[in-house]
Amino acid sequence: MTTTVPTIALNNGTSIPQLGFGVFRVDPERTAEIAGNALEVGYRHIDTAAGYHNEAGVGEAVRASGIAREQLWITTKLANGDQEHPEDAFQASLDALGFDYVDLYLIHWPLHEKGIFPQVWKSLISILESGRAKSIGVSNFQVEHLQRVIDETGVTPAVNQVELHVEFQQRELKAFHDQHGIATEAWYPLGGGSLSEAPVLERIAQAHGKSVAQVVLRWHMQVGNIAIPKSNHRERAAENLDIFDFELTADELSQIAGLDKGEGGRRGTHPLQMR
């Protein structure tokens, strides 16, 4: 099964599939199976991280799929504990995946108090220049972190992957991204179970004959986010991919915009609190 997923052009000339499949908190012992299911139902973008301890399973799933490596987009991330030796950590990720390159390599968290993220970013620039990462970016960076790496290196991250969902729409950060040509990628894009009980989303879902999750993911697509939902269940993974046969109206988009709670909608760790 294949589904044509739109792509987002990144600032270094590459293009990333706008909808991907995440493996955060996927059991390493089941990652090959679950990522393999995602590839079978049509995903071509898999997002992992050294800190998830399941890169090897992603690599195994890719090799078992029979899909040519160049048809896939694989992202992994530098673990917090490896920021002082990013080159070694990157090579360890390549070895775990069994690849000679990744499509996107991210600094997982800025670790604000440690304050070495600009130097870490310089290491990622070297990795990019070596060709072993086709694009580089960051995750959980705020405006001050992004501005500092741009000012100190002259190289703008291609992507910033952050918590983003309908109750936490990150408008100020997205405006900075848009101004500087940084793609916005959403982790936790469905925002948890409480969204399924939002009357606005229920009404929109009923109007389109879709689930609330499908409506939320469609919203991400139409506002220009990259989204990486996850599911351990093949059927749900397939459902999350089935969002390209309908379109939200301007009025529906406006209603969803009204669900934003600003900082009060954040569910995960604030980047300044991550140690």
Instruction: Give the total number of structural domains in the chain.
Output: 1
CA pair distance 52, 30, nearest whole angstrom? 12
pLDDT for 2 beyond 60:
no
pLDDT of residue 195: 67
Q: At what angle do helices 250-257 and 199-208 cross, to 10 degrees?
A: 160
pLDDT of residue 194: 63
The partner residues of 19 in beta bridges, in order of sequence, read 227
CA pair distance 59, 31, nearest whole angstrom? 9
Report, as residue numbers or ranges, the catalytic residues.
52
pLDDT for 185 beyond 90:
yes
CA pair distance 219, 166, nearest whole angstrom? 8
What is the span of the domain harbouring residue 59? 7-192+221-231
**Which of 69, 66, 68, 38 shows the shortest CA–CA distance to 54?**
38
**Which of 39, 109, 43 shows the shortest CA–CA distance to 81?**
109
The pLDDT tens digits of the residues spanning 209-254 come to 999 999 999 999 999 999 999 999 999 999 999 999 999 999 999 9
Ramachandran area for residue 214 (φ above 0: left; ψ -120 to 50: alpha; else beta): alpha
CATH of the domain at 136: 3.20.20.100
CA pair distance 124, 133, nearest whole angstrom? 9
Q: Could you tell me if 31 and 228 are in contact, meaning their C-beta atoms sit under 8 angstroms apart?
A: no
Whether 242 is covered by a domain: the verdict is no
Whether 252 is covered by a domain: the verdict is no
Whether 1 is covered by a domain: the verdict is no
Number of H helices, E strands in the chain: 10, 10
Whether 23 is covered by a domain: the verdict is yes
pLDDT of residue 197: 66
Whether 130 is covered by a domain: the verdict is yes
Q: Concatenate the DSSP letters of all residues of 52-81 into one string.
A: GT-HHHHHHHHHHHT--GGG-EEEEEE-GG
Q: Could you tell me if 62 and 39 are in contact, meaning their C-beta atoms sit under 8 angstroms apart?
A: yes
226: helix, coil or strand?
strand
pLDDT of residue 28: 97
Q: What share of the chain is helix, strand, coil (3-state, %, to 5)?
A: 45, 15, 35
Whether 60 is covered by a domain: the verdict is yes
The partner residues of 46 in beta bridges, in order of sequence, read 21, 74
The pLDDT tens digits of the residues spanning 125-134 come to 999 999 999 9
Q: Tell me the percentage of the chain whose pLDDT exceeds 70.
A: 97
Whether 255 is covered by a domain: the verdict is no
Whether 30 is covered by a domain: the verdict is yes
CA pair distance 160, 174, nearest whole angstrom? 10
Please tell me the total number of residues recorded for the chain in this structure.
Answer: 275
